[in-house]
Chain A
Amino acid sequence: MPDAAFERRFGAALLGLEPVADATLARALAIHRNTAFKAAEEALADNYPVLRGLCGDEAFAACAHAFVLARPPAEPRLCFYGAGLPAFVANWPPFQNTPWLADVCELERLAVEALFAADAIALDGAAVAARLDPDRALTLHPAVRFARFASPAGSIWLAHQDEAPEGALEAIAWRPEAVVVTRPGDSLMVEPLDPAAAALLEACVAGASLRTIAAASWVGDDVATAFSALITAGAFA
């Protein structure tokens, strides 16, 4: 039998697409299937710890198992596995009454991207000022990610970190949040942004020049504070 044909038959049997009469072979296939599923599900648990904490181990395991069945890993780097999980969670029937779970899942995805993004020196205020060119966009750090959520996803994420102050979860004001994810000093930072900083970062992400930003209607007296907040977050490189 040609090798490709063997792979096709074995692969189909492995996924349970073809019946296997031989009990020994069936058990061997089950062991291979379990090992691969376990690896993929553990990768999801590693990449989405806050989602897991929010919905509980059992509900997370059920969702993760269904996701691995529907969207198995396409490549060997399981540290990146689960890019499609936020969309899957948004449509997962048991989570229909908790729509913020998909927001937190999306934020955790951005955190994974930020964690493994390329290294670059984050510029301080003086360095940013020295490189200012009104007709060019500011260069964002490779780890910068930005998103707007209908829920306070950033505050929920922060309240589930080990270093969160007591009562952080109860103190959350339930409102939409714009969140920046960065990696200043090589450790992950997630921070909800005020409206000015959010608008500024959104414009930077879109590649707007300083001249364009200066002329924008949303720019007010708080733009300097907004710049300062983003510089502290290590957003520019």
Chain B
Amino acid sequence: MKLTAGLGFKTAHLTEALTAQADGLWFEVHAENYMVDGGPRLAALMALREARPLSIHGVGLSIASASSPDCHHLARLARLVERTAPFAVSDHLAWQRWNGVHHADFLPFPRTRRALTRVIANVGRVQDALGRPILVENPSLYVDLPGHELTEVEFLTELAGASGCGLLLDVNNLFVSAHNLRLNAKAAIDAVPGQFVAEIHLAGHSLDRDSPLIIDTHAAPIADPVWALYARLIERIGPRPTLIERDDHIPAFDVLMAERDRAAQLLDARETIHA
């Protein structure tokens, strides 16, 4: 099956997800929610896996940490990947583990040459443990740290080239980062190395009440400027499996499917024009 646009899977939507009729529909789940020994949640995922292609999206590898990925976490990820045989496995260009605490967000770091070497090594460890390449996602940034030696695009391009990983381009994260760091979003999307992009994420963001920043909340529909950047990206690099993410204020399944269908139509139009 050719993959078009997919949806972040919610357990409450299982029946609708199993019976949804849409060409190329696929689902993505957060890996950590299914790193369990058994039970109904895992059984629901296995049923979904039988019906539709699946992508496993990690939110906990902490691949930009100064230390190596946690071996227990990596073993659990490997077990889940073995169980579900997903078409893609991904996580973020960020760190989360510090001083025995797992910080459940994606923290920034100075993109130095030294950091690049470290992330290449960490991605290599993950790929060795899984026996397959992973995709690495650009995070939302809220502050321009001092000490960068590479831009995000340079960093991701070198990472993909050296480690063999692919890129998961989150268009909303790119928009949020560009707004917050006062960069040109169009220039940023045009600089994305299309040859490495294997998946795209689309999500909603929210305005910060206490500052001019915008926050990557996944709590709203996808904003128009993000749709425009998405159309601009696939116009240039071609269609890619595209995920609609929503993790808060989750609407009914058909509302999410309507957003998903909009992405599917853009993908389809892109293919038709260039056929």
By a beta-carbon cutoff of 8 Å, the part of chain A in contact with chain B is 1-4, 6-8, 10-11, 14, 24-25, 27-32, 35-36, 39-40, 72-79, 114-120, 142-143, 183, 186-187
Contact B104 A186 (CB under 8 A): no
CB contact between B95 and one of A7, A73, A74, A187 (< 8 Å): that residue = A7
Point out the residues of chain A lying under 8 angstroms from B104, CB to CB: 35-36, 39-40, 73, 76, 78
The answer for the CA separation of A187 and B41 in the assembled complex, in Å, is 10
Knowing A6-B109, A35-B104, A76-B32 touch, does A27 contact B39 (C-beta < 8 A)?
no
B residues 171-185 in Cβ contact with A at 8 Å? 180
Point out the residues of chain A lying under 8 angstroms from B107, CB to CB: 10, 14, 32
CB contact between A73 and one of B35, B43, B101 (< 8 Å): that residue = B101
Knowing A39-B105, A76-B96, A115-B41 touch, does A31 contact B32 (C-beta < 8 A)?
no
Point out the residues of chain A lying under 8 angstroms from B105, CB to CB: 32, 35-36, 39
Knowing A3-B114, A75-B73, A77-B60 touch, does A119 contact B38 (C-beta < 8 A)?
yes
Among listed B13-21, B160-168, B209-217, B252-260, interface-contacting one: B209-217
B65 within 8 A of A: yes
For A37, give the chain B residue with the smallest CB separation: B104
Contact B102 A4 (CB under 8 A): no
CB contact between A142 and one of B37, B58, B70, B211 (< 8 Å): that residue = B37
Knowing A1-B147, A75-B73 touch, does A6 contact B102 (C-beta < 8 A)?
no
A197 shortest CB reach to chain B, Å? 24
A-B contact count (CB 8 A): 127
Interchain residue pairs A-B with the least CB separation, the first 5:
A76-B60, A28-B143, A119-B38, A28-B142, A116-B36
B208 within 8 A of A: yes
B110 shortest CB reach to chain A, Å? 6
B131 shortest CB reach to chain A, Å? 21
B272 within 8 A of A: no
For A183, give the chain B residue with the smallest CB separation: B39
The answer for the CA separation of A76 and B213 in the assembled complex, in Å, is 27
Point out the residues of chain B lying under 8 angstroms from A24, CB to CB: 143
Knowing A3-B115, A76-B60 touch, does A25 contact B41 (C-beta < 8 A)?
no
For B95, give the chain A residue with the smallest CB separation: A7
B270 shortest CB reach to chain A, Å? 33
Contact A76 B59 (CB under 8 A): yes
A138 shortest CB reach to chain B, Å? 20
Point out the residues of chain A lying under 8 angstroms from B125, CB to CB: none
The answer for the CA separation of A210 and B112 in the assembled complex, in Å, is 65
Among A72, A74, A75: residue with most chain B CB under 10 A = A75
Point out the residues of chain A lying under 8 angstroms from B95, CB to CB: 7
